[in-house]
Amino acid sequence: MSTQETREQIRIRPATVEDCQQIYDFIMELAVYEKLAHEVVATPAILAETLFGARAYAEVLIAEFAGEAVGYALFFHSYSTFNGRPGIYLEDVYVQPAMRGKGIGKSLMVTLARLALERGCARFEWSVLDWNAPSIAFYRSIGALPMEGWTVQRVTGDALHALAAQAAAGVCNG
């Protein structure tokens, strides 16, 4: 199959609520690859509520090859105070291992970059595990650069509850 024929087999589309089981399956595949499956608590029902419920917290693109779902990208808007404009933050991008090297991941990234520009975003960013050399090489090939001097900080679980329970000066709780 030629490169052109391969490209013609790729379709990127917005996910629908009917895709929640497939999205969940991709999340689990990604979690296994990242050695983090033990951390997944999401379910298809949770995804349906948080992605397609009254308040959608993120959006998903589904990558198809020859009519079959083979990957996804889950993203949401961030905001840059320095730019005074929104950005797109890519939480997950995943293409099934057997389908890599066909341009599917790049098609997802191109689609997201175009969407960022269409929405007036100042940037498109994501995090990557420092041991994931294949992904890092791919990201460099599309022009992504690491954010030197920045590290991700996170409060979750018991620490999140403890922080939220503390008294804060001047906070209105009603």
d(CA 135, CA 113): 17
Whether residue 96 lies inside any domain: the answer is: yes
Say which of 24, 72, 89, 139 is annotated catalytic: 139
d(CA 167, CA 43): 33
d(CA 126, CA 78): 11
- At residue 78, the 3 state secondary structure works out as strand
Q: Is 139 a catalytic residue?
A: yes
pLDDT at 11: 98
Whether residue 8 lies inside any domain: the answer is: yes
Query: Which domain does 133 fall in, by range?
Result: 3-165
Q: How does pLDDT run across 96-151, given as a tens digit for each residue?
A: 999 999 999 999 999 999 999 999 999 999 999 999 999 999 999 999 999 999 98
Count up the domains in the chain and report the number.
1
Whether residue 139 lies inside any domain: the answer is: yes
Is the whole model's pTM more than 0.85, yes or no? yes
